Structures are given as structure tokens and as C-alpha cells.
Structure 1
């Protein structure tokens, strides 16, 4: 069959969690909806604080702003469809829509990785080069780097979609996943996927391991600089300035590296276990990140408390009349 012919497949079916008993479908949809609601509410709160509090207009918070936008978009790309599968028994997705979803899944994942690179760069310059930090990382510099991250991240996922879309899909149309991704789709092609899978894997590794290499380098330099500080209290205070970013970076990279490493050393998972792990490292960080910002970032915590206090005072004033 010619590679341009995929007329026999007009839609795909997302299985979600294959081993999940039908009686738990309602619970699964409720949990996923709760995760989506918390993700939207938490990240929207951060965006609101940033928009209404000028004191947060600093390089570090501009980076967090980008991460919030990316987290909202990623969750919106992946969760509504799988929620509708369990809520309304609507697990089908059109051929083109599946590829659109695949593009945004990989694109936003790449953007996320680049933003974490910017986080590590921010803390590296702030701690290792504090005197030059205001000159090297101005607001305008962060804007340029952020826009560059969003633009450059388009190339790899777009190439993967362009190469995968014309493949002949003439066999099964069942994707064992909660959303469309490159592996899940190309595994269904009636042709050897190696020429298409390897370049996509290489691009994914560059997008993941490139920023990770700098993250490791930057935090090694930060630790070395912190250890040079004689006062233990000052040492802890310096480390606390990058604790939030370090937690976020760990939540993003550690599970992904574990899954990639496990697959290469022969550790296998059941289909359900693999999907659960992927969903956890894909959806848990966007949900928990706003909580980390508000608990660990002093300016963000103070801004949230001011908004809460003003709202409480206004409510008391209104009810007293």
C-alpha cells in the first residue's frame, strides 16, 4: 500500500487505562476533572497575581509566568478528551485531530523543558554572578529568551507530525494511551516505523537532555558557590532562593529520565502501569507547581496573602452593613 494512502483509518480510539474496570470509569473521570480544575485554578491564580501586582514583575516571575501558560495549555490539550471518554464514553478522536493533539503534546513538552532551562539560568546567574545578574538578565532579555523558546520548540514536533501524517494507517486504530503521541500513533502504521521513530526520538532526547545537562551543570556550580559561604545561615538562605525551581525541575525531569532509562535497561511495565506513570509525570507537576510557587517564593506568598487579606476585609465590610 502506498504511504500516502490512509483512507482505511478515519479516526483513532483512545483506550485510556486499558485495565480499568467499567465501574471505576466515573471515578476516573472525576479524578481527572479534579486534576484539571486544580491545574486551571492554581495557574490562573498565579497569572492573576502577576497581572495585578507590579512587584512580581521580575525575571524569575516572568519565567514562572511562561511555565504557568505552558501548564494550562498542556493540560487543556490532553485532559478534556480523556475526561470525556470516561464521562460520556466518547473515546474516539478524528484522524486529523489526533495529529493536532500529538503536535501540541510534544511542542508544549519541549517548551516546558526550555523554560526549566531558563529557570536554571536565572538561579545560576543570581547566585554565581550576583553583581552581573541585573545586567545579564534584564526583563527584556527574559522576554527575548522566552519568545525564542516558544518559537524554536516548534521545529521538532512539526517535523515529526509532517513525517508521520502521510504514513499508511491501515490496521488497528486503537491507541493504548490517554492522548495521542508520536509513539502511540506511528506504532499503528503499516510500515517500518524505524526511519520515522529514530529521528523523533533523537529530537525528543535533545529537547530533554540538552536543558537537563545545563540544569545539572548550573546546580553543581550553585552548590559549589554555596559551600564557599562561611555563615551557615547565609548558606541556607541562598539555597532557599532556588528551592522552588529545584523542586519543579526535579518533578519534571526525574520521572522522565527513569522511564527512558528503564526502557533501555530492559525494565518493562504493564500497559496500565506505563500509562499511569506517564500521566503522573505529565499532569502532576502542572497541578502542584502553583502550590510550590506560593509556599516557596517569598514575593509570591506575600502577594497572595495581601490579596486574601484585602478580600477578607472587603467581605467583612460588606456584611457589616
Structure 2
């Protein structure tokens, strides 16, 4: 980046919700902090269960483990700064720091997309090719696919940052968003953003729609396979193994695709509404996913109940000993 590009904007200011009145800043920061706290606690519980229960060391749960790690990192990248903005009025972020956050936001979002692809692949092979499942999908396969996802996901966000960083930012430095992302930053550039935003849009669609295309194909194939099961109980049992993943996928993809398409085909709505939608699809899945794992995934639910009963049992023994 040339020195001229640096001379006007040396830092950005994260505005958050432009229409939010100052008297509600405390409430907003409290809500965001609770979201972050619940997200961290829920996902850490899953990590602890996985680390202490070897029954969970199976392909499907290794996929969930990678999604948990990505969710924690994404929330940690985005939430602390916007909480500080409303709690301490500390919304300023350095020029370089904003682009680092932008890279991490899009990187972890891309990782999530690829991990959901692997999750769909696991269910597809499990239901459509049950006899071949142990040979095709095992822990080694999942490790290779997940590691590949973390590596390949670096490319598109890095290209977006490389193209956006050198732009001349010589006007407003206010980010109308709760964190630095590509659209929010490039709209502040003193140049035509189309040559930069369109390739970013293509990259985003490839990262989203490529995995989504296979996910749709896999679940259509799963539905066909389920319909061919003679027993109604068998159909319900098979579908129940996919219900949690379907909820997670819907929470991740539907609002994201809507926002990306709306931003690039000219659909306009208020800034606050757009930010609310973005925050919902960014923050709700990491917070809700642990609940889905616990209530929709049999082995995780069983492991959690075992841990809960073990923690309750010593307390009962202590009460009994005191009463004696």
C-alpha cells in the first residue's frame, strides 16, 4: 500500500448499529456479552466431553469437533471488539487490525462452510452406502478432509484482503457493521468498488454455493434412500440422525446467501436491519449449535448425562455422610 493511501485513514471506528440510542448501549453490550459467554461455555463443554469420553472419538464427532473450534474462534474474533464498543465506547480499531479481523471473519466463515460439507458427506455415505461406510469414512479420512478444509479456506479470504488493503481510504472511517468485513470496508474506499467487490462476490459464492450444492445433492439422495426403507420406524430413526445437521446447515446458509445476493443485485433495506440479519447468522449458530449437539446427537447427549450424574453422585454421598 502506498504512503498516500495511508495518509487519510489510520484507523477505523466500528459503529455497530447506527440507529441505536446511547441509553441502550449498556443493554446491547450486556446482550452481546451473554451471547459470547453462552457460546464459549457451550462449545467448551463439547470440547471437554470430547476430550474425556473416548466413545466420542468417531468420524462424525471429529467433524463436530472442528465445527466447535471454528465457532469459538469466529466468536472470539468478532464479539469482544463490539462489546468493548458499547461497554467502554472503545470502537476504534487500527487500519491493519481491521483487515486482520476481516481476514479472520471470512476465513472462519469459509472453514465452517467446508466443515458442513464434510458433515453432509459423512451422513450421505452413512445412509446411502451403509455397508461401505467403515471403509470410506474413518477417523483418518475425517482428519485429512478437515485439515484440507482449514488449509484451502485460507485462499479466498487472503485474496480478498490483498485486493482490498491497497485501496485509497480517504473519506469516512466509520464501519457500519459490528466487525470489519469486506463489504463494510470496501464501501469506504474512494474509488469504484465494483472491480474489487465482484471478484470477492464470486469467491464468496464459490465458498458458499460449492459446498451447498453438494449438501443439497446429498440430502436429496438421503431422502430418496429413506423413502425406500419399508419400516416407518426405520425412516424416522434414519431421518433423526440428520435432523441436527439440517438445522445447523439451514442456520448457516440461508441468511448468508440472502445477504450476499441482496448486497450484489441491488436489494436495499435499512442499515440496522441488514446488520441485525448479519449478526443473527453470525452469532446464533455458534451459540445454538452446542444445544443441537446435546439434544439431537445421541452419544453426546449420553456422555453429557453421564458427566452430570457423576457430578451429582458425590454431592448426594456428602449429604448422606453429614446426615449420619
**Structure 2 residue 49 is the aligned partner of structure 1 residue 49:** yes
Change (3 A) 1:273 1:295: same
| Equivalence map 1:1-321=2 (5 Å) | 5-263=5-263, 266-319=266-319, 320-321=321-322
* 1:189 CA displacement: 1.2
Q: How far apart in 1 are the matches of 2:153 and 2:267?
A: 30
SS of equivalent residue, structure 1 residue 93 = strand
Change (3 A) 1:261 1:8: closer
Give deviations 1:204-256, integer Å, cap 9, x for gaps. Answer: 00000000000000000000000001111111001111111111111111111
Change (3 A) 1:265 1:99: closer
Change (3 A) 1:42 1:264: same
Q: Is the 8 A contact 1:4 1:166 kept in 2?
A: no
What are structure 1's unaligned runs of at least 5 residues? none
Q: How far apart in 1 are the matches of 2:66 and 2:114?
A: 10
Give deviations 1:156-201, integer Å, cap 9, x for gaps. Answer: 1011111211111111101100000011111111122222111111
Q: How far apart in 1 are the matches of 2:122 and 2:111?
A: 16
Q: Is the 8 A contact 1:116 1:249 kept in 2?
A: yes
Give deviations 1:93-124, integer Å, cap 9, x for gaps. Answer: 01011000000000000000000000100000
Q: How far apart in 1 are the matches of 2:136 and 2:61?
A: 16
Change (3 A) 1:199 1:266: closer
* 1:318 CA displacement: 3.5
Q: How far apart in 2 are the matches of 1:199 and 1:106?
A: 14
SS of equivalent residue, structure 1 residue 13 = strand
* 1:266 CA displacement: 4.8
Q: Is the 8 A contact 2:28 2:86 kept in 1?
A: yes
Q: How far apart in 1 are the matches of 2:4 and 2:112?
A: 33
* 1:202 CA displacement: 0.6
Give deviations 1:265-297, integer Å, cap 9, x for gaps. Answer: 654210000000000010000000000000010
Q: Is the 8 A contact 2:70 2:111 kept in 1?
A: yes
Q: How many residues align?
A: 321
Change (3 A) 1:236 1:4: farther
**Mean alpha-carbon deviation: is it higher for 2-11 or for 38-47?**
2-11
Q: Is the 8 A contact 2:201 2:260 kept in 1?
A: no
Q: Is the 8 A contact 1:6 1:167 kept in 2?
A: no
Q: Is the 8 A contact 2:186 2:193 kept in 1?
A: yes
Q: How far apart in 1 are the matches of 2:108 and 2:242?
A: 24
**Mean alpha-carbon deviation: is it higher for 174-183 or for 192-201?**
192-201
Q: Is the 8 A contact 1:3 1:168 kept in 2?
A: no
Q: Is the 8 A contact 1:176 1:184 kept in 2?
A: yes
Give the alignment's Cα RMSD to 1 decimal. Answer: 1.4
SS of equivalent residue, structure 2 residue 5 = coil
Q: Is the 8 A contact 1:3 1:167 kept in 2?
A: no
SS of equivalent residue, structure 1 residue 241 = helix
* 1:2 CA displacement: 6.5
TM-score, normalising length: structure 2: 0.96
